[in-house]
A and B are shown apart, each in its own frame.
Chain A
Amino acid sequence: MQIEETDEIWEYDGSFYGFLTIVYQAFSKKTFPEIILTPKTAVESLFVSSWINTDESLAQKMYERLTKRLRKENVQFIIDGFYCSLKEKDRCLLDAIQIALESKDLLTNHLGHPSILALEKSLKALFGEVHLFKGFVRFEYIGTLLYSSIAPKHFSLPYLCPHFAQRYPQETIMIYDETHRLLGIIKQGHIRFIENSNPPPFSTRESEQDIQENWRTFLQAVTIQERKNERTQLSHLPKRYRGHMVDFQ
């Protein structure tokens, strides 16, 4: 498919359906814009953009088309790519979709293309953070409910919840993401999210403090003073995670 690269600037509302509308526009007109803005990134831009209205039915159609035409790993790559923190992700994703339409291969094998490489790096940062949070989340019992709050850099919570849903299949769990004001609720393995939520007003109970104290005692006991190396500790466990961990309170 011949695509014309133009110097246009498009803007949309930042939602996934909005992005799919952009994809529809780009491929039906066979033109790719130079920059794609959302209300968040438009603030920093000096140029005038043309607004693309989100059309849910078109987006739905586009989504079905993509799932039919592309292999499922590539569809997943594009969905994950949409949730990563890369600034130019929307423009890179258009390139990714074009490559995926032309090639039967995995998108991750096209690392030579700058857009794919940028997306891959950003995804690595996202999944890296998710993996770290699997270990650094600290729950406390509020009655029979397990509660934790986190402040991730990336949009990690939706990727994190399935892990805990599988790990504690009989519990009710709440994880609050302070950065994106997102509350994840896991009830006996079923996951739901509440957007734009305020943090639940929970306070730590007495019995929890004893267990937290035991944990800190344990950490102190397994430290080997002769090998002290706080720089290594810092590189493995950066300070931005420590505020929410009972280990450092």
Chain B
Amino acid sequence: MDLSRKIEILAESAKYDVSCSSSGVMNNTRQGAIGSTSAAGICHSFTSDGRCVSLLKLLFTNACIFDCHYCINRKSNSIPRATFTPQEVADLTMDFYMRNYIEGLFLSSAIIKNVDYTSELLIKTLKILRYEKGFKGYIHVKAIPGADENLIEELGFLADRMSVNVELPSRESLKLLAPDKDPFALYKPMKQITHKKKELSQVPTLRKPASFVPAGQSTQMIIGASPESDHSIVKIAENLYKQYELKRVYYSAYIPVNKDSLLPAITTEPPLLREHRLYQADWLLRFYHFSADEILSENKPNFNLYLDPKANWAVQNYDQFPIDVQTASYEQLLRIPGIGPKSALNILKARKYYRLHLSDLKKLGVVIKRAQYFISCNGACQPGLVNDPEWIISSLISSRQYETLKKVNSQSRQEQLSLFDVERFETNKRKESRYAN
């Protein structure tokens, strides 16, 4: 089989893995003659689905011995199979890297023969890159669950980031849809990597210790293949960030690739809006000092599809607003819809020497159309502000936005969190549109 056909098959098989970041390596201490890493990560291209291409994302092989129901590479599927050689992957990576097509390599693999053999193939590939080619660039590699601890550790010293995909948020779903996978084996390498990183950070050394997974680890969960609520997914993500110190949790809207009675029908649209809301919640956890239970709760377990989680929280806690931007703390500023970490920082800088006015906020990067309902400045609010959460909700959503959201909402009505009377809201919207032009 020629190389371009292999690329076609094995990139195609790897495309459902979301992770593509090349960030997180602050000071690259690896030995080598070619390549560098950027702390902020660099995107090298964008495909027409709007996703970034930063790494050469490949499966080493797609000939899998497992039969996970949701996976395109399950052994019972009749799809073209291919396997790279370690040398091929290394050469291709260097060819693309020298021309600045990519920031590094993302190497995953189906399970070929057994987990240890698969891990050894990955190690062999990485060794060629690091030692023969002198490659100092970014490498993200999969830790194969169930593989020997020594192999995982060896991979960890060769790679910049490692990941183990949780895939399904609960043990029951895993048992049902991925019968070959052991839920305990999934978390074992995660724990091992976390412990090893901690252990190495505590060793007092005169020289810098060898880089062990310097960009940390990440994981991925499939959204919409199993019945878990948004609340349980956000809770798991929060746990992963706290317990295992993960750098990223990715969410992947399930795209039906297999006909299976246990899964959504092949014609089902992927729940992209739900995935989007989960990413918004994920950002709230990581950069906005929110906790999972503030975002959703047991009795309201799913996202409001009409409002983003932050605006949703603000409307439900309207007694805490309006917040005065001249005197509020950084944490308080972060809670205002329309203000992010950067604009909050800008506000802190600007108000140090100058008295702010509401009109200055736009220049500092605040999204006024969202923030205006929640802020005051030196005691002054936006003129005409009505102190009624329901009015704010309808102001936050334009009727066009509402129509768009209705179209992309691929979930059933029962799954939605009803924050306000949807029936009444829709009637009002219809009434309004009657008078439009």
Binding site for B on A (CB under 8 A): 108-113, 117, 131-132, 134-141, 146, 148, 163-164, 166-171, 211, 213-215, 217-233, 236-237, 245-247
Contacts and interface: CB of A to CB of B under 8 A. Distances in A.
B8 interface: yes
Interface in B279-297: none
B363 to A, nearest CB: 6
B397 interface: no
A168 B272 contact: no
A170 B49 contact: no
B34 A222 contact: no
A217 B50 contact: no
B48 interface: yes
Nearest to B136: A167
B43 A222 contact: no
Contact of B34 (A170, A211, A219, A227): A170
A224 B51 contact: yes
B95 to A, nearest CB: 5
B50 A231 contact: yes
Nearest to B16: A224
B376 interface: no
Contacts of A112: 349-354, 356, 360
B7 A236 contact: no
A231 B49 CA distance: 9
A202 to B, nearest CB: 14
Contacts of B46: 232-233, 236-237
Contacts of B57: 222
A111 B350 contact: yes
B50 A230 contact: yes
Interface stretch (B97-105, B235-243, B298-306): B97-105
A25 B284 CA distance: 51
Q: For B51, B255, B269, which residue has the most chain A Cβ atoms within 10 angstroms?
A: B51
A217 B42 contact: no
B270 A221 contact: no
B116 to A, nearest CB: 28
A208 to B, nearest CB: 8
A163 B364 CA distance: 29
A109 B50 contact: no
B95 A211 contact: yes
B100 to A, nearest CB: 5
Nearest to B12: A221
Interface residues of B, number: 55
Contacts of B34: 167-170
17 contacts: A108-B349, A111-B350, A135-B43, A135-B44, A135-B54, A135-B100, A166-B36, A217-B4, A219-B53, A221-B11, A223-B49, A228-B48, A229-B48, A229-B50, A233-B46, A233-B49, A236-B52
Nearest to A167: B36
Judged by DSSP, the binding face of A is: helix
Nearest to B137: A167
A218 B7 contact: yes
Contacts of A139: 98-100
B197 to A, nearest CB: 26
Nearest to B15: A222
Interface in B332-378: 346, 349-354, 356, 360, 363-364
B27 to A, nearest CB: 12
B40 interface: yes
A135 B351 CA distance: 36
Interface in B84-124: 92, 95-96, 98-101, 103
Contacts of B50: 227, 229-233, 236
B56 interface: yes
Given A221-B12, A229-B49, A232-B50, A214 B4 contact: yes
Contact of A111 (B49, B54, B364): B364
Contacts of B101: 138, 215, 246
Nearest to A212: B99
Contact of B56 (A163, A218, A236): A218
B47 A233 contact: yes
Contacts of A218: 7, 11, 56
Nearest to A103: B353
A135 B45 contact: yes
Nearest to A120: B346
A227 B270 contact: yes
Given A217-B4, A217-B7, A131 B100 contact: no
A229 B270 CA distance: 13
Nearest to A106: B349
A224 B255 contact: yes
A164 to B, nearest CB: 8
5 tightest A-B contacts by CB? A232-B50, A112-B354, A221-B11, A229-B50, A227-B49
Contacts of B96: 211, 215
Interface in B177-219: none
B255 A221 contact: no
Given A131-B40, A135-B44, A237-B46, A109 B352 contact: yes
Given A222-B53, A223-B49, 14 more contacts: A112-B352, A136-B44, A138-B99, A139-B100, A140-B99, A164-B100, A168-B98, A215-B101, A218-B11, A221-B9, A223-B47, A230-B48, A230-B50, A231-B50
B158 interface: no
B186 to A, nearest CB: 24
B176 interface: no
B249 to A, nearest CB: 19
A227 B51 contact: yes
A237 B52 CA distance: 9
A54 B111 CA distance: 70
Q: For A134, A218, A221, which residue has the most chain B Cβ atoms within 10 angstroms?
A: A218
Contacts of A236: 43, 46, 50, 52
